[in-house]
Amino acid sequence: MRRIRSGCAAAIAAVVVAGALAAAPAAPAGATPTGAALAAPVQPSAPAARSIVAAMQPGWGLGNTYDAIGADETAWGNPPVTRALISKVRSEGFRSIRIPVTWEGRQGAAPDYPIDPAWLAKVRQTVDWAMAEGLYVMINLHHDSWMWINQLATDHDAVLSRYTATWTQLAATFRDASNRLVFESVNEPTFSATTGDDQNYLLLNELNTAFHRVVRASGGGNATRLLVLPTLYTNADQPRLDALATSLTDLGDPMVATTIHFYGFWPFSVNIAGFTRFDAASEQDLTGTFDRVYDTFVAHGVPVIMGEYALFGIDPNYPAIIERGEIRKFFEFLGHHARTRKVTTIVWDAGQFLNRQTMQWRDPELFAQIKSSLTTRSGTASTDMVFIQRSGEITSRTLTLNPNGTDFQGLRLGSRNLLKGRDYTVAGDQLTLTAALLTELAGNRTYGVNATLQARFSRGVPWRIDIISQDTPVLSDATGSTSGCDPSGWGRCFLIPADVRGDVLATAEARYDDGSNAGPASWTSYQQYGNAFWADYPANAINLTPEFFNSITDGARVTLTFHFWTPLPTFRLVE
């Protein structure tokens, strides 16, 4: 094995594996739904509440902006909000906008906790723009949840006083706003120094009750304004839903809705533990989430808003965390299941979807998939990548189609319709690309994408299929020190020269010589893409992060195994 010496006294042996990924190991405890029994039916909300929530579909979330912690809304990298941005959101078919706001750092001292007038004016201006565009709007207390509200158990009176003072001011500011403005009590509520969830549920109920009392007592439009109440952590495990159902019954207010968040099956959402595909585990996690909120609330007349949804691994600066075809499958299925379960969805966009500088979607195909899923299903396939070994004989390749209730219509290359029988064949759900077609498309077999096909179905958006020439990746010697590592999570700590030769990195394993797991995620050998490693394709390197080296036992040797997407049953060691 080739050893890569580092300043943390851990020598690393690197292994390149080009082959189909093995079945992923089990997820950590707590990663799957609880499956507890349903609570008793709750009191249904008023028809007006259900109508408002239905009219909010679909929604867009103004992430990392007014919720940013810092001087102003640009603190986390986004430009100032403009009317043009709000108009763009509306023009793309969104019917509501969630405006998360962090008030910490923008308030004065006790007992009144006055909100900075300039900050409140910024928020109000954006609300007014959105209302003028005909959008529904939801505002909240956002990162305050973990910055000071979480201390309710240990600093009860001060926290509750500040919480009610904040909502008193917001209720007064927006007292006469249209009923298209919706209030959300708190984002992702969490509490520290408690005895467990039983106490957490009591504390959240106290917050929601105080919020309800303050807003309703302010009169005007607030007397009947739709109020949105979250579960603990805004999580959809059954005990969280049951606790909120009890709170709603106690309140007895027909103008309420509930809210949860969803970022997919966590191991898939961050690419850890070998969950590189939107597989049965991810699908079950998604359906379980929607089914539980439907059974607990929607089926009994209480509307549900999924106030945030996305995948954690979507990052425009590091686009390869999750394979793009698997991302599209996730959003296609989520949109479908949201419709069947009558849940209003608000996509969380911190800039990873809409580029607010150019007002263009960073991945138009993905946005088209998200938009299409709101009204219909789209066909997909087992993969969107067909690899051709550059130095080998070109043979036919077969993909499994997932029609999702649609009918396969054919293949297209640009504006050219490919011929069934000559260019491809179809047998049941098996789509085979002929050797003749692949030879034509590969051309001189330059590493990387040589051509892109579209599998077209009777409904929805086409399925992209990239034809890629590659050879088995090669890693080179690397020796150096980690003493000057960038401490940031995505820092370049140690670079392994990597000629990927057209292939795409999927995941990586790390083990000590005794076979035990190495790396930040000690419960699995498959480490998290980004947290432990990441591929820098322009630099022809694979980076190991500071977090990875900080987790390694001094003096120990670690073997890294890099799994690529090429479906070849071969591997080679870097010696």
The predicted-structure confidence for 242-251, as pLDDT tens digits, reads as follows 999 999 999 9
What is residue 15's predicted lDDT score, i.e. its pLDDT? 52
Spatial neighbors of 144 by CB under 8 A, at least 6 apart, are 102, 103, 104, 166, 186, 187
Question: What mean pLDDT is predicted for residues 525-534?
Answer: 94
What is residue 570's predicted lDDT score, i.e. its pLDDT? 33
pTM to 2 decimals? 0.93
pLDDT surpasses 60 at 74: yes
Spatial neighbors of 390 by CB under 8 A, at least 6 apart, are 445, 447, 469, 470, 471, 501, 502
Sign of the dihedral through C-alpha 384, 390, 394, 395: negative
What is residue 533's predicted lDDT score, i.e. its pLDDT? 93
Question: What mean pLDDT is predicted for residues 218-232?
Answer: 98
Spatial neighbors of 337 by CB under 8 A, at least 6 apart, are 286, 287, 290
pLDDT surpasses 70 at 38: no
* Of the listed ranges 15-24, 254-263, 481-490, 514-523, the one predicted with least confidence: 15-24
pLDDT surpasses 90 at 30: no
* Of the listed ranges 1-5, 460-464, 517-521, the one predicted with least confidence: 1-5
Q: How does residue 41 score in pLDDT terms, banded at 50, 70 and 90?
A: confident
The three-class DSSP label of residue 447 is strand
* Phi, psi dihedrals of residue 349, rounded to the nearest 5°: -125, 100
Strand pairing report for 494-499 and 408-413: unpaired
User: pLDDT tens digits for 393-447?
Assistant: 999 999 999 999 999 999 999 999 999 999 999 999 999 999 999 999 999 999 9
The secondary structure of 367-416 as a DSSP string is HHHHHHHTT----EES-SEEEEETTS----EEEEEE-TT--EEEEEETTE
Side by side, which strands form the sheet with 463-470? 385-389, 463-470, 448-457, 408-413, 416-417
Q: Which residue has the tokens 């007006």?
A: 48
What is residue 480's predicted lDDT score, i.e. its pLDDT? 75
pLDDT surpasses 90 at 39: no
Q: Which residue has the tokens 């943390």?
A: 8
Of residues 17 and 503, the one with the higher pLDDT is 503
CA distance 129 to 210: 29
What is residue 4's predicted lDDT score, i.e. its pLDDT? 33
* Of the listed ranges 176-180, 338-342, 382-386, 392-396, the one predicted with least confidence: 392-396
Average pLDDT, the chain: 91
* Phi, psi dihedrals of residue 549, rounded to the nearest 5°: -70, -35
pLDDT surpasses 70 at 568: no
Return the active site residues. 188, 308
What is residue 340's predicted lDDT score, i.e. its pLDDT? 97
pLDDT surpasses 90 at 369: yes
What is residue 22's predicted lDDT score, i.e. its pLDDT? 44
What is residue 274's predicted lDDT score, i.e. its pLDDT? 96
What is residue 486's predicted lDDT score, i.e. its pLDDT? 67
User: pLDDT tens digits for 252-272?
Assistant: 999 999 999 999 999 999 999
User: pLDDT tens digits for 145-157?
Assistant: 999 999 999 999 9
pLDDT surpasses 80 at 373: yes
- The residue ranges of DSSP E strands in 36-83, in sequence order, are 59-62
What is residue 575's predicted lDDT score, i.e. its pLDDT? 29
What is residue 40's predicted lDDT score, i.e. its pLDDT? 56
